[in-house]
């Protein structure tokens, strides 16, 4: 059997590309990069299913699936400052990319994790998706979509444990990272970190996880964030 694989979804984005690069530099894993560039579209379940089928055809076990997708602004939308800015099209778009897409990744990729031995499915969430931690309001669509993602992670982690007890399904908060997503909000004084540093931090957190951590949200320091 060949070496284990790490699958990086959203590998052309800032964090995704850095995750793939750090994993490749580590060695010991075959890194499979998935993105729109090779046909995976989060808004098209058929493309997600097709990508999963391609990954299932290889003999090597999957050690890690890292979902580095997500949107905060674009398509003419910016995060809402008030309920006055709520727009159904914006809400649907944010939910489609930040919650439904990752949920469909779980649907098609969690079954590919080995039934025995440690493996990890990690998806990028955000601290602002925490309901308990919400002190400022605003950013309604993004917050709500990430809160939904956190619930998908919890539900799927419970189901995953029945099939693969050593497997882990978690959400990760990367902090503010230099990327297209954060660029309009990278204010002076904010701790904005390079993608490679963020990738190294996130992979360090993943390395330290156990099955008991499955279904939780962790920040890039390894601290658990309340849902």
Which residue segments constitute the domains of the chain, with CATH numbers given? 5-225 (3.40.50.720)
Q: Give pLDDT tens digits for 111-158.
A: 999 999 999 999 999 999 999 999 899 999 999 999 999 999 999 999
Paired sense of beta strands 217-219 and 224-225, if any:
antiparallel
Q: Which residues pair with 177 in a beta bridge?
A: 193
Tell me the whole-structure pTM to 2 decimals.
0.92
Say what percent of the chain tops pLDDT 70: 94
The neighbour count for residue 167, using CB atoms within 10 Å, is: 22
| Residue 191 binned pLDDT confidence (cut-offs 50, 70, 90) | confident
Q: What number is the average pLDDT over the span 32-60?
A: 96
| Residue 184 binned pLDDT confidence (cut-offs 50, 70, 90) | low
The neighbour count for residue 204, using CB atoms within 10 Å, is: 13
């Amino acid at each position: 059997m060949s070496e284990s694989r790490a699958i990086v979804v959203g590998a052309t984005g800032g964090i995704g590309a850095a995750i793939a690069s750090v994993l490749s530099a580590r060695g010991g894993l075959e890194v499979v990069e998935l993105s729109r560039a090779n046909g995976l579209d989060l808004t098209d379940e058929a493309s997600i299913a097709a990508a999963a089928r391609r990954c299932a055809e290889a003999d090597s076990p999957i050690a890690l699936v890292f979902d580095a997708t997500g949107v905060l602004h674009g398509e003419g939308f910016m995060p809402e400052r008030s309920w006055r800015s709520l727009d159904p099209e914006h809400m649907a778009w944010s939910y489609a990319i930040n919650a439904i897409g990752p949920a469909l990744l779980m649907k098609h990729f969690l079954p590919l994790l080995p039934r025995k031995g440690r493996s990890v499915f990690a998806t990028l969430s955000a601290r602002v998706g925490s309901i308990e931690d919400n002190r400022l309001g605003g950013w309604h669509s993004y917050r709500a979509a990430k809160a939904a993602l956190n619930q998908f992670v919890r539900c799927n982690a419970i189901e995953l444990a029945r099939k693969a007890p050593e497997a882990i399904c978690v959400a990760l908060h990367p902090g503010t990272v230099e990327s297209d997503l954060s660029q309009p909000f990278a204010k002076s004084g904010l701790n904005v970190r390079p993608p490679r540093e963020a990738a190294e931090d996130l992979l360090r957190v993943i390395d330290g996880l156990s099955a008991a951590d499955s279904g939780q949200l962790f920040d890039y320091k390894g601290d658990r964030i309340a849902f």
